[in-house]
């Protein structure tokens, strides 16, 4: 491709809306253009990379038995109503009526569509297992798009679905997908960490995320450098050891005692005032489940924080929200002085950090007063005991006890053991060997194409621009012609023609621009191999050739250039070869 004919242009200035380096570089390099909030055009260079990413995905999915299909982005409401998600998903799903007045939606994911396919085509256990996948545009009306393609409203996703006879067969197959996902990311030059994650709106009983570690990420991961424990903070656990009680019996606790704590309305203030460790106090908050009217009174040890995702899962709702000061006043409660003691009309949820039999300091449900010697199980009863605490850096690992690390990251892909959530609700049954009807057991596996593209650039860059991995680079070679002499132009044209004849992917900068502009654009666009032809290079014996990821360059005779470039490209591919 000649740059004089290429659509798009490079920019010198950083776009004002760019929040991440990858977003900035994609706009400056002319890869994407914003149409609306979270909605982008993919320009020719980006689209070439997208197709290469998709080919890598196809190769790996085909290798583990996947069969590619294509399912519609527009779905009838009926199948979503059968699964129940029509009623569970909020405004992020776009709903509309067709001209006949029938309820429709834009599919955010395709569990319902693929389950409908399976129930129409599968009758017998002999047809199981099988795996279907597709790569398709989806739309989610995100409340806040971010980072260009990292969190877009319209996006391209590869999603796959496996169907099995039983849970054991799903568990056998699931690791194959996980390894395929790691190979995809490695082939694209993006290192990822596999972490436990929340099942969210997808449902099921287990999920993992494949996360690229970067300070620009919006997810928080909890990692153990000692034993390898890894989880999204939404589901991460840790050892909850109370100060002074490890390895010792709990002391007998007397009756509760009401004490004055004027103006001490935080855990830190009340514990300092009473001379107790925060681990011996109870923090109490009031939450409402989404769409629910009955509030939840949530109690946790004073040194810990409530994990709202865990709490929502515990209450079997999609989201929770804190009660407002006005709502607290309506219940006769005062922030900073609340506890479950003596209160009725609430669903009481207690974190498992609160040991029954231990004595704690807790609010007296009266301004400027607290209670001492509060014993869970004796002085209040919990409707639900659960782990609702947020893991944090430095907490003991749940597996080995080593201090945990907290890192930021971007989710690139996810995998779910769905079980029979969709097959049972939608009637996707098969007849087993004994003649009984059983719901198919399902797995689901998603990976964002545009998000992976953004992570590729976030990981592979320097202060000058992109450094493309050869596997997904728009072109393998960037050919620069410097100067206006016929000697240089004829040599560059000859090299360009030879590369095209030899099927070398080449971007040819034949523009009438200065050497500085061309070198700056070559660094910004970041093709793996740069070939420069100038009076100076010809005087030195041929063309100057360098790898984008390296500083040094060499002069290669023109008659050896094609073979040398091909060898360099193959050597670059070897760096990403999967064994």
Residue 518, C-beta contacts closer than 8 angstroms, at least 6 positions apart:
480, 482, 509, 511
Shortest CA distance to 189 belongs to which of 485, 412, 419?
A: 412
Q: What is the DSSP string of 509-538?
A: E-SS--HHHHHHHHHHH--SEEEEE-HHHH
DSSP strand pairing (554-556 vs 543-547): antiparallel
Q: Is 214 within 8 Å of 459 (Cβ atoms)?
A: yes
Q: What is the DSSP string of 429-496?
A: EEE-TTS-EEEPEEEEEEEEHHHHHHHHHHHSEETTEE---TTT-S-SEEEEE-SS-HHHHHHHHHHH
Q: Give the Cα separation of 112 and 117 in Å (integer).
A: 9
Residue 397, C-beta contacts closer than 8 angstroms, at least 6 positions apart:
224, 226, 227, 229, 238, 239, 403, 404
pLDDT reported for residue 168: 96
Please calculate the CA angle 16-410-290 and round it to the nearest 5 degrees: 95
pLDDT reported for residue 543: 97
User: Exposed, middle or buried: residue 431 (CB in 10 Å: 0-12, 13-18, 19+)?
Assistant: middle
Residue 259, C-beta contacts closer than 8 angstroms, at least 6 positions apart:
274, 369, 370, 371, 372
pLDDT reported for residue 204: 67
Q: Give the Cα separation of 579 and 577 in Å (integer).
A: 6
Shortest CA distance to 481 belongs to which of 523, 535, 439?
A: 535
Q: Give the Cα separation of 174 and 65 in Å (integer).
A: 12
Please calculate the CA angle 172-174-180 and round it to the nearest 5 degrees: 120
Q: Is 557 helix (H, G, I), strand (E, B) or coil?
A: coil
pLDDT reported for residue 202: 62
Q: Is 153 helix (H, G, I), strand (E, B) or coil?
A: coil
pLDDT reported for residue 245: 47
pLDDT reported for residue 462: 96
- Residue ranges of alpha helices (H) inside 199-292 are 267-274
pLDDT reported for residue 200: 72
Q: For residue 480, list its beta bridge partners.
A: 509, 532
pLDDT reported for residue 246: 41
How many helices and strands (H and E) does the chain possess? 15, 31
pLDDT string in tens for the chain (579-residue length): 999 999 999 998 888 888 899 999 999 999 999 999 999 999 999 999 999 999 999 999 999 999 999 999 999 999 999 999 999 888 999 999 999 999 999 999 999 999 999 999 999 999 999 999 999 999 999 888 888 999 999 999 999 999 999 999 999 999 999 999 999 999 999 999 999 998 876 666 789 999 999 999 989 999 999 999 999 999 999 998 775 444 445 567 889 999 999 999 999 999 999 999 999 999 999 999 987 778 999 999 999 999 999 999 999 888 899 999 999 999 999 999 999 999 988 999 999 999 777 899 999 999 999 999 999 989 999 999 999 999 999 999 999 999 999 999 999 999 999 999 999 999 999 999 999 999 999 999 999 999 999 999 999 999 999 999 999 999 999 999 999 899 999 999 999 999 999 999 999 999 999 999 999 999 999 999 999 999 999 999 999 999 999 999 999 999 999 999 999 999 999 998 875
Peptide bond into 136 cis (omega under 30): no
Please give the helix or strand (H or E) that residue 55 lies within, else none: helix 44-63
Tokens of residue 84, six digits: 């129940």
pLDDT reported for residue 206: 82
Shortest CA distance to 546 belongs to which of 538, 559, 561?
A: 561
Residue 270, number of CB atoms within 10 A of its CB? 23
Domains of the chain (ranges, CATH numbers): 46-234+406-450 (3.30.930.10), 257-386 (3.90.960.10), 472-574 (3.40.50.800)
Q: How many CA atoms lie within 13 A of 317 on its CB side?
A: 17
Q: Is 390 helix (H, G, I), strand (E, B) or coil?
A: coil
State in Å, rounded, how far the first CA of the chain is from the last one.
Answer: 33
Q: What is the pTM of this model?
A: 0.90
User: Exposed, middle or buried: residue 220 (CB in 10 Å: 0-12, 13-18, 19+)?
Assistant: middle
Q: Is 25 helix (H, G, I), strand (E, B) or coil?
A: helix
Could you say which DSSP state residue 502 is in? T
Residue 310, C-beta contacts closer than 8 angstroms, at least 6 positions apart:
234, 235, 386, 387, 388, 389, 390
Q: Is 75 within 8 Å of 108 (Cβ atoms)?
A: no
Residue 324, C-beta contacts closer than 8 angstroms, at least 6 positions apart:
none
Q: Give the Cα separation of 545 and 479 in Å (integer).
A: 9
Residue 165, number of CB atoms within 10 A of its CB? 18
How much is the CA Rg of the chain, to the nearest whole Å? 30
Q: Is 315 within 8 Å of 296 (Cβ atoms)?
A: yes
């Amino acid at each position: 491709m000649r740059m004089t004919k290429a659509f798009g242009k490079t920019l010198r200035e950083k776009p004002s809306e760019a929040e991440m380096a990858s977003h900035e570089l994609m706009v400056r390099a002319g890869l994407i253009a914003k149409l609306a909030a979270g909605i982008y055009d993919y320009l020719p260079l980006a689209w070439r990379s997208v197709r290469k990413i998709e080919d890598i995905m196809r190769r790996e999915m085909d290798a583990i038995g996947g069969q590619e299909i294509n399912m519609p982005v527009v779905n009838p409401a009926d199948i979503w109503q059968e699964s129940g998600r029509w009623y569970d998903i909020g405004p992020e799903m776009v709903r509309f009526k067709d001209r006949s007045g029938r309820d429709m939606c834009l599919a955010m994911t395709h569990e319902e569509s693929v389950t409908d396919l399976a129930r129409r085509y599968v009758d017998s256990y002999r047809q199981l297992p099988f795996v279907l996948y597709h790569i398709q545009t989806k739309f989610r009306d995100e409340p806040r798009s971010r980072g260009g393609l990292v969190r877009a409203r319209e996006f391209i996703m590869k999603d796959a679905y496996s169907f099995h006879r039983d849970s054991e067969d799903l568990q056998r197959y699931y690791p194959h997908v996980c390894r395929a996902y790691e190979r995809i990311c490695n082939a694209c030059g993006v290192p990822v960490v596999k972490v436990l994650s929340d099942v969210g709106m997808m449902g099921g009983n287990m999920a993992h995320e494949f996360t690229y570690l970067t300070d620009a990420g919006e997810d928080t991961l909890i990692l153990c450098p000692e034993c390898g424990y890894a989880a999204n903070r939404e589901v991460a656990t840790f050892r909850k050891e109370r100060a002074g009680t490890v390895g010792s019996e709990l002391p007998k606790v007397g009756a509760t005692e009401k004490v004055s704590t004027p103006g001490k309305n935080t855990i830190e203030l009340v514990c300092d005032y009473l001379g107790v460790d925060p681990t011996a106090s109870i923090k109490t908050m009031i939450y409402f489940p989404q769409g629910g009217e009955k509030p939840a009174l949530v109690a946790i040890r004073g040194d810990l924080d409530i994990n709202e995702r865990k709490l929502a899962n515990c209450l079997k709702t999609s989201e929770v929200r804190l009660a407002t000061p006005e709502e607290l006043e309506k219940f006769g409660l005062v922030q900073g002085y609340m506890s479950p003691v003596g209160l009725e009309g609430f669903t009481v949820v207690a974190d498992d950090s609160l040991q029954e039999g231990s004595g704690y300091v807790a609010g007296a449900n009266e301004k400027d007063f607290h209670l001492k010697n509060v014993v869970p199980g004796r002085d209040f009863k919990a409707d639900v005991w659960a782990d609702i605490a947020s893991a944090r850096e430095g907490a003991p690992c749940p597996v080995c006890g080593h201090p945990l690390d907290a890192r930021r990251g971007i989710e690139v892909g996810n995998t779910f053991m769905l079980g029979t959530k969709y097959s049972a609700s939608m009637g996707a049954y098969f007849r087993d060997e004994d003649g009984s009807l059983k719901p198919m057991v399902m797995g689901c596996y998603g990976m964002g194409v545009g998000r992976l593209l953004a992570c590729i650039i976030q990981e592979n860059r320097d202060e000058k621009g992109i450094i493309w991995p050869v596997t997904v680079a728009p072109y393998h070679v960037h050919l620069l012609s410097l100067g206006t002499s016929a000697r240089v132009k004829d040599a560059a044209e000859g090299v360009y023609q030879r590369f095209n004849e030899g099927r070398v992917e080449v971007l040819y900068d034949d523009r009438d621009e200065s050497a500085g502009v061309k070198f700056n654009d070559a660094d910004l666009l970041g093709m793996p191999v740069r070939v420069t032809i100038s009076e100076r290079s010809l005087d030195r014996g041929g063309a100057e050739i360098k790898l984008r990821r390296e500083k040094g360059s060499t002069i290669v005779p023109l008659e050896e250039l094609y073979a040398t470039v091909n060898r360099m490209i193959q050597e670059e591919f070897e760096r990403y070869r999967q064994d």
